[in-house]
Structure 1
Amino acid sequence: MRLPRIVVICGSTRFMTEMAEADLRETVAGNIVVKPGCDLKSPHALWSDPGEAEVLKSRLDDLHRAKIRLADEVLVVGDRIGDSTRAEIAYARSLGRPVRFTHPEVDPDAS
């Protein structure tokens, strides 16, 4: 029995609502979806201490790179990308993962 396609959602956590919508659409399409599970920009007791938050951010970045390695393809959500998302795109492409965009105009490698 073959597993469904695995899609990892990447993008700024400011687009968490859009990520949830992308998750819904990809799931309905029959894909397994993985995405960021924490929004460090929103207050929470687990990252209220700035020092602990910095350590957590590093761990979450490592975890997200593992999700990219696991995935068959990457879906970048949002109409803007920052340095972290740009690095995730470069990492995915270095592994040969196809990268799709909800807003193709933000693709840093588009000509």
Structure 2
Amino acid sequence: MSSPHLLTPEERLAEAKKLLGLPRIVAICGSTRFMTGMNEADLRETKAGKIVVKPGCDMKSPHEFWSDPVEAEALKVRLGDLHRAKIRLADEVLVVGDYIGDSTRAEIAYARSLGKPVRFTHPDVDPGASPPGA
């Protein structure tokens, strides 16, 4: 007799979301220089009936929470961990903007390693796409 298949945490999460009847969850990724575009994408995705998670802090804009460089560096690490958790929670990822920096490239690779579909507002910046004519 074979052992019962034990579900991975990701499979259990997917089952729980199904049982709860939750709409699809989309994680928005990209450079915070595109916060306006992220907010617009949030509106579009929400209008389409999806739950949206996205960066909640724009550390490029001045704020007392990250005015101290030491505290800012620690916060940046925590926010990176938090955003990866949002990607794990999501059913898909939407990358906003016409530029992909190192952090966003790492988020895309992470999402793809988890088997998450990744969409782009500017598909030509997809680091995983084949070059034209290939």
TM-score range, shorter chain: over 0.9
Work out which of the residue numbers 110, 117, 124 in structure 2 matches 1:98. Answer: 117
Q: Which runs of 5+ in 2 are unaligned?
A: 1-19
In the aligned structure 2, how far is the partner of 1:39 from the partner of 1:109?
26
User: Which residue of 77, 87, 90 corresponds with 1:68?
Assistant: 87
CA distance in 1 between counterparts of 2:104 and 2:28 reads 10
Question: Aligned partners of 1:65 and 1:58: how far apart in 2?
Answer: 11
Larger Cα-atom Rg: 2
Query: Partners in 2 of 1:4 and 1:91 — Cα distance?
Result: 22
TM-superposed deviation, 1:23? 0.1
Q: Aligned residues: percent identity? A: 84
Instruction: Select 1:16's aligned residue among 20, 23, 35.
Output: 35
How many correspondences in the alignment? 111
What's 2:21 paired with? 2
Correspondence 1:33 to 2:72: no
2:76 to 29, 45, 57: 57
CA distance in 1 between counterparts of 2:91 and 2:40 reads: 20
Structure-1 separation of matches of 2:58 and 2:69: 14
What SS does structure 1 have at the residue aligned with 2:97? coil
Unpaired runs of 5+ in structure 1? none
Distance 2:26 2:128 in 1: 20
Structure with larger RCO (C-alpha < 8 A, sep 6+): 1
Which letter maps to 2:40? E
> What CA distance in whole angstroms lies between the structure 2 residues aligned with 1:94 and 1:81?
18
Aligned-pair CA distance for 1:79: 0.3
Q: 1:79-101 deviations in whole A, cap 9, x for unaligned?
A: 00100000000000000000000
User: What amino acid is aligned across from residue 9 of structure 1 in structure 2?
Assistant: I
Rounded to whole Å, the distance in 1 between the matches of 2:51 and 2:84 is 17
